Amino acid sequence: MQRNKFRWVTKCLPVAAVIALCLFLFLPAPAYAMHIAEGILPFYPAAVWYALSVVFVGIGIFMIKRKTQENRGIMPLLGITGAAVFLISCLPIPVPIAGTCSHPCGTPLAAILVGPFISTVLAALALLIQALFLAHGGFTTWGANIFSMGVMGSFVGFGSFVLFRRLHAPLFFAAFAAGLFGDWATYATTAFELASGLSTDSALWTMFATILIAFIPTQVPLGILEGLFTGGVVSLIYQQRPDLLDFKLATTVITKGEITGGNI
Amino acid sequence: MKTTTGTLSVGLLIIVVLLSLTFWTVSMFGRADVNAEGKWPGVDETVIEKYAAVAGREPVEPLINTDQGDLLLFVFAVAGAAGGFIAGYCWRILLREKNGIIGPGS
């Protein structure tokens, strides 16, 4: 009995090390808010982004309700995914080649684990807490930030994952692509939100291109980093709990050998 | 055989991560010109607020302004600890389910 107890501890040690490393990396640092700050967007554009986001968040809440009624066992997965999105999206990472800081999104990873609609709800909650208590983002720009990080990050990330899985890409690579494209889509959408809210109609695309180019030195390396992180975490979860991603079996091609770690 | 391959993969992954972290850290020290100003500005300052200011929009104070002295550091510490605890606790439950100690739905 005692021996079994120690075996369990030994098995958990690598996981505990990963969690400890994550906690160390996520240790609080001076906040450099990267979401659109309070008051930046005028009323009407902000309202439009709110309206668009409400649709996705509403569907996400409905799906959470349905899934938790079907199986209460999904609650820990929602908990860990929500906490991950919150921590990742307020983690400033210095990018040496640009000399600036920015943060990953975490929503591509969340979308792979719980689906894009539920991931949008988790992102909305994370953004709300950040806007209210961490001076990170804003309440008036909450809708715009949900749409860029929650909706676009989740759906582009999830879409990339499914696409690459259908193309028989290895699991790590598909998750890497999800993180990479999800991150880039988030900041491309932020650039569009800013351009559409701040420019006159004639200068929309010029301003969009200018802001997008300004994001590139920071977000290109950060997107690659988010891709590596997403790929690593999804591979780890597959090794530990392949059944958690069972719902992907319907849409992606995963062989039995791969689930047991053969192709990761 | 599979276990050996798995261990080798994890080992290689750890080496790659450590090398990347080392390279990242060394690169940051290389950016002495940036550090000389005492900060690494976020893209909110370098991109979002910059273009917003050009268009005549300035950020306003947050509804609850915790960006005062060390208060923000405190709030981040609490949020980080709470988030880390929730993530660790839920991960532990997921592992217990895997080991059959409790099942899904319990």
Nearest alpha carbon to residue A103 among A247, A241, A184, A222: A222
ipTM of predicted complex:
0.71
Q: Which of residues 38-97 of B touch A (CB under 8 A)?
A: 40-52, 55, 57-67, 72-73, 75-77, 79-80, 83-84, 86-95, 97
User: What sign for the dihedral angle of Cα A154, A159, A161, A162?
Assistant: positive
Residue A63 lies in a domain: yes
| A145-149, A150-154, B46-50: least confidently modelled range | B46-50
The confidence band for A263, taking pLDDT boundaries of 50, 70 and 90, is: very low
The alpha-helical segments, DSSP class H, found in A75-170 are: 75-88, 107-114, 116-133, 142-145, 153-166
Q: Taking CB atoms and an 8 Å limit, are A94 and B40 in contact across chains?
A: yes
For residue A255, the enclosing domain spans: 38-259
For residue B58, give the nearest of A34, A39, A240 by CB distance: A39
Distance of CA A126 to the CA centre of its chain: 11
Residue A193 lies in a domain: yes
Nearest alpha carbon to residue A174 among A132, A117, A218, A111: A111
The confidence band for A261, taking pLDDT boundaries of 50, 70 and 90, is: very low
The reply to whether B8 touches chain A by the CB within 8 Å rule is: no
**pLDDT at residue number A57:** 97
The reply to whether A71 touches chain B by the CB within 8 Å rule is: yes
Residue A4 lies in a domain: no
**pLDDT at residue number B5:** 66
**Per-residue pLDDT of chain B in tens (106 residues, 90 and over written 9):** 556 666 666 677 677 766 676 666 665 555 545 544 557 788 877 888 888 888 888 888 888 888 888 888 899 899 999 999 999 999 888 887 666 654 444 4
Distance of CA A209 to the CA centre of its chain: 24
Domain of residue A234, CATH code: 1.10.1760.20
**pLDDT at residue number A83:** 95
Half-sphere exposure at residue A84, Cβ-oriented, CA atoms within 13 angstroms: 27
Residue A258 above 80 pLDDT? no
d(CA A165, CA A233): 16
Count of domains forming chain A: 1
Residue pLDDT, tens place only, A36-71? 888 889 999 999 999 999 999 999 999 999 999 988
Report the Cα–Cα distance between both ends of chain B, in Å, rounded.
35
